[in-house]
Structure 1
């Protein structure tokens, strides 16, 4: 302990002794004829100062001092002498007063205005302020007039080792891959020292590791941390705490130090293969399990983490490779075995699979350690289940002719119970698919029969569903679709495709096509329709018309001559016999109506009425209509004229002295509706003159026919 104290005192007082030796030379005056100089010897005089000297007409003057220094953190009982100002104009008569201004003048630094001695009156800290710029001036003591222009000088605060190194960004964290080689760089740390880096060794740092060896090392000057052991295993230890020290004074004794911590985490690499937890797995599954159902899970553990622990699973061998599959669950890191195809307990009761787990991401650095995979055996036992009936076919297609007899067998479906204890089967028709109950089925043997007649022209297809039910367990049922196609038979005769009406021009030419007709047949023969057209036997030698078969299966009717006259005959009826090509063939007779019409020269029909033929020659239809309109208009005018004339001759005033009640007639008959109206004219009451002979003749006759005693 005494030795360490002695070293500390030596390090502390050595700069002070050097300053004490050099200080007198800094404050004594130089020869009178020298200019202002610094310790470096460079001139202090400025152009501004030279100009001021010329203004003052000074031939000789000068400040003499060197650059001044003061030791930081000095705390003696008396103010510390920094230096002394002196001018060559001072003869020692004490008529010169020295004035100090600038940074810290009067607060940090004081000057003896007579001697020019400068003292530091406060404790200085270089890290707070490293230098001060002040201005010195010499003035006459009595007049305060400047004897010299003011001049600047610098007081520098001399550094001592009073600041320890600091790690401003600590504590630190870093990562390095596991299994790294020796000397792999981990990270670097940096400490700072507030002391002067250019003066002495106060800020010269040296780094070392206090804790964390032998796993890591550090470069003393650069603070680069490296691995000190090769192949560190994350699975053995993942995290390390390293304590780092930074010491100033170049690491020598007496220096100050600071520490920080570094947490180093080993990151994972794929250096471990997957390993199944067990070599043999057992699973059982019912035979009626739904396809895609998970049967079981297998897992291969991996000491690595993240993607390095990800494994893919495959079935590489076994007698169930076609029935089962395995998929990888990325979340659980296991393999899920699922069913691909249906199982049958009665066919095979167990299966053996060989599954493999292999790492997905392989690190080539460790591939030489062996395959990063593992295998296990999986035993799957199939359990018996009560299964529904199984039809011999997934669908059935039946055909039946539309003229099939009732109760005839159309076809048959079969089903069986796949269980070992086979149960009898009963068949039925789902009536929701056969609402009209056109079919029946034998419950025991599955034969389908016809219940109602079929008509292909109404419906070609009938789709029904057959249900098979186990007698021992009615809950076990199966369904199968049955499509029944109705086959065509020739049971419809052909007929005209439309209601045809032909028109024949009076001025037509022989051989001219009057009308083209086509036929249709509701049947659907395999080879398509082919029609035969003919006239009735008694119409074969028809003098007016003939027929011609066309290649498109249609028929053209042609006129044999010209000179048809609608006055002689307006309409012709032509019966045509149409036969199909069925076996046996069917035929029907359709009649074509042919009207004789008047046509223009280019064959456009104008009129087909007989009355139009007897009209006066030379009058067009428009002219006849105009004449008829004029006649009707003339008749209307005549009727209006007569009516107005008659109303003009009738008196409009009823005579009050006439008793109109004499016209009232009484009779015992019940009311006769219109007969009463005819017998009594109310207009007579309004016009008494009617009694005097203006009744209509029919009214008078009616009155004469009534006896006088009818009332």
Structure 2
């Protein structure tokens, strides 16, 4: 406290000295009080000029003064002040009356409060001298400034409490890392309170800082990120030019060394041991290896390659960029029996290389990879991936087609058994020797049915039936000349009938060709000819065109349909096979009628007969007459029938009665003679009256004595007459009765009656008026078969 008070006292003294010095340097006319001078103007007018009479200059006050008494800022004094107390000093402006007070008699100005220059550096005030009694201004108002004198009361402050910076590893000494900046709130224009000096407190000897700028630089060469990646540096800023008594501030700077590719990849071991089964398939992983690179990011990326070794064709290597491992994979199948081990030389190199560090050596490393092949139980292996055999068609069963051969690739050499795939029906054509693999036919083959047969043969280990292999076998059926040629189509020829004098045409009546089911090797050319026995045929001849076609020509004229309208010409067709095959084909040639231009009109003999006697107009007239006569006859028969026999009544209510059904169910077991009329008789009614079952009579009548029984003969005429008489003399039958059911089935029938009308009641609500004409006829006809014979109108 005493030291602070002494410091302020010294500063006050310095301020007073500065004020006194300023007063000594002030012009005299500025120090004298103002008074009047009378001068004459151009026109004799007296002018008055006023002069200032204040005694002061720019004032200073020390900031942060904390003494017991107010600080004397300065004194206002006018040279007209004689010291008698008649002059009154007045202070106005910024802080007047609150911060600054004036003694109105002496003009001394004091600061009543502690001032802070960082809050306000100066104050502008107005001073005036007035008459104490009258307040008449003795001096015009005059403005002056009170400056707050700075002291070193603010330490330096950095812009950030913590800084972060990066610098590449292996950087040269003096490489700029980062610049830190501090500020001081003190007045930079007064003294050294705001003059800062930077220094490093922590971080040596790796880094240094420039005292004036605050730039941090590297101080050691070849700093290695892999050895130490992060550094913590403390920087100090001190004012007063770094001298003793100055204030200071600090900040922390975290400096990270960024990676550069300054390390090559290295394998941790010189040899890697791996193994692979001979049963492994291409693409299967064999093993992994890794070269370590302490660099990070893209500088640590490693790629792997096989650069040498006896397994370069069988193995490959790729890079797993997630784990930075080299993945060794099988490229081609390996065989334990062929070779049991392989050696590879693998190289690991960086993907990205920094040219600055190439001089340090190659950024790659190599390692030896030894791969052992493990034995596995492998399936049999055929000596060929597929087989093609041939066999002639029609070869006898048991003919050898060919052979397949497989072996066990394992060292044990298990015996092999062969079989044909049973999932197809082709095994019925072939068989195979289980031990030797010979394929034989089981039946003759027809090339024309199937030219190629494809089978599959399995080879299975005898000691392990789960180990098997499959091979396709294609069998070609070789053609033999076993099919004779024949017509390519059903040919038919036509010739016009003509007289003897008409010249024979040079054009063929038909052109023919042939086809052969055999291969072209057994019939590339066909020969056409007539059979030897008709080679001198007087009517037709065959000419071979030597292009597998032939033409049939007419040798004479004068063909007539009346003599012969159809000719059958045999033609022999032979192929060129060994031995040749031939067949005889029949060509049909019709004789037809033609017009004058040779166009066909008709090839029927009947048409010729008609055309010979009548012209076309006459035939048309005859046909028209026949049609008219037929129409007249049909109309006549129809009208006559409608007039005599109005069988059908078209009223709606009578249509239902027009269907009459005769339900004859036969004579039962006694009906052995189909045409014995005696079986139609009712034995029960021969000698007596037969009651009717279709109606219930009101009175019972005895049979008439005059009627004789129906004879048991086959005379149809007598039988019918008898039945008619019985029907005419039957008093129980209405004349319009048409309901007759023949219910007699003969004696001894175990089936009984099948009629559905046996249980019918005699009451009938049917209207029989429309049967007035037909009723008696049906009645007579029904009586021919006895009382049980009834025609069912419902049927």
What's the TM-score, normalizing by structure 1? 0.72
Q: Does 1:661 align with 2:717?
A: no
Measure, in 2, the Cα distance between the counterparts of 1:522 and 1:179. 91
Please name the residue that 2:198 is paired with: 207
Please name the residue that 2:252 is paired with: 261
In the TM superposition, 1:646-657 aligns within 5 A as 646=643
Q: 1:651 to 1:634 in 2, by over 3 A?
A: closer
How far off is 1:469 after superposition?
2.1
Measure, in 1, the Cα distance between the counterparts of 2:384 and 2:376. 22
Measure, in 2, the Cα distance between the counterparts of 1:13 and 1:668. 169
Please name the residue that 2:575 is paired with: 580
Please name the residue that 2:758 is paired with: none
In the TM superposition, 1:445-594 aligns within 5 A as 445-498=436-489, 510-511=505-506, 518-526=513-521, 529-534=524-529, 538=534, 541=537, 543=539, 549=545, 553=548, 576-590=571-585
Measure, in 2, the Cα distance between the counterparts of 1:284 and 1:95. 118
What is the CA RMSD across the aligned residues, in angstroms? 5.7
Q: Does 1:686 align with 2:682?
A: no
SS for the counterpart of 1:240 is strand
Is the Cα contact below 8 Å between 1:505 and 1:596 reproduced in 2?
A: yes
In the TM superposition, 1:237-636 aligns within 5 A as 237-434=228-425, 436-498=427-489, 510-511=505-506, 518-526=513-521, 529-534=524-529, 538=534, 541=537, 543=539, 549=545, 553=548, 576-590=571-585
Measure, in 2, the Cα distance between the counterparts of 1:452 and 1:432. 19
- Cα displacement string for residues 551-577 of structure 1 (whole angstroms, at most 9, x for unaligned residues): 5x5556677899998899877766555
Unpaired stretches in structure 2, ≥5 consecutive residues? 31-47, 652-732, 746-765, 790-795
In the TM superposition, 1:632-647 aligns within 5 A as 642=639, 646=643
How far off is 1:442 after superposition?
0.5
Measure, in 2, the Cα distance between the counterparts of 1:142 and 1:624. 174
Measure, in 1, the Cα distance between the counterparts of 2:551 and 2:82. 158
User: Which stretch has the larger CA shift, 438-447 or 139-148?
Assistant: 139-148
Is the Cα contact below 8 Å between 1:90 and 1:96 reproduced in 2?
A: no
Measure, in 1, the Cα distance between the counterparts of 2:489 and 2:129. 141
How far off is 1:510 after superposition?
4.0
Is the Cα contact below 8 Å between 1:543 and 1:560 reproduced in 2?
A: yes
Measure, in 2, the Cα distance between the counterparts of 1:381 and 1:247. 73
Q: 1:155 to 1:593 in 2, by over 3 A?
A: farther
How far off is 1:209 after superposition?
0.8
How far off is 1:441 after superposition?
0.8
Measure, in 1, the Cα distance between the counterparts of 2:468 and 2:486. 51
How far off is 1:225 after superposition?
1.4
- Cα displacement string for residues 69-94 of structure 1 (whole angstroms, at most 9, x for unaligned residues): 55443444455566788999999997
- Cα displacement string for residues 264-310 of structure 1 (whole angstroms, at most 9, x for unaligned residues): 22223333333332333334444433333333333333343343344
Is the Cα contact below 8 Å between 2:495 and 2:591 reproduced in 1?
A: yes
Q: 1:601 to 1:149 in 2, by over 3 A?
A: farther
Q: Does 1:191 align with 2:265?
A: no
How far off is 1:374 after superposition?
3.2
Measure, in 2, the Cα distance between the counterparts of 1:670 and 1:609. 60
Is the Cα contact below 8 Å between 1:71 and 1:158 reproduced in 2?
A: yes
How far off is 1:241 after superposition?
1.7
Q: 1:114 to 1:327 in 2, by over 3 A?
A: same
Is the Cα contact below 8 Å between 1:99 and 1:138 reproduced in 2?
A: no
Measure, in 2, the Cα distance between the counterparts of 1:238 and 1:370. 23
Counterpart of 2:16 (choices 1, 7, 20) is: 20
Considering only CA atoms, is the larger Rg found in Structure 1 or Structure 2?
2
SS for the counterpart of 2:327 is strand
Is the Cα contact below 8 Å between 1:96 and 1:139 reproduced in 2?
A: yes
What's the TM-score, normalizing by structure 2? 0.66
SS for the counterpart of 1:255 is coil
How far off is 1:189 after superposition?
1.7
How far off is 1:130 after superposition?
4.5
Measure, in 1, the Cα distance between the counterparts of 2:788 and 2:474. 90
Measure, in 1, the Cα distance between the counterparts of 2:575 and 2:265. 82
SS for the counterpart of 2:15 is helix
SS for the counterpart of 2:358 is helix
How far off is 1:145 after superposition?
12
In the TM superposition, 1:71-82 aligns within 5 A as 71-77=62-68, 80=71
Unpaired stretches in structure 1, ≥5 consecutive residues? 35-57, 672-681
How far off is 1:197 after superposition?
3.6
SS for the counterpart of 2:447 is coil
How far off is 1:475 after superposition?
3.1
How far off is 1:252 after superposition?
2.4
Q: Between Structure 1 and Structure 2, how many residues are aligned? A: 662
Is the Cα contact below 8 Å between 2:274 and 2:287 reproduced in 1?
A: yes
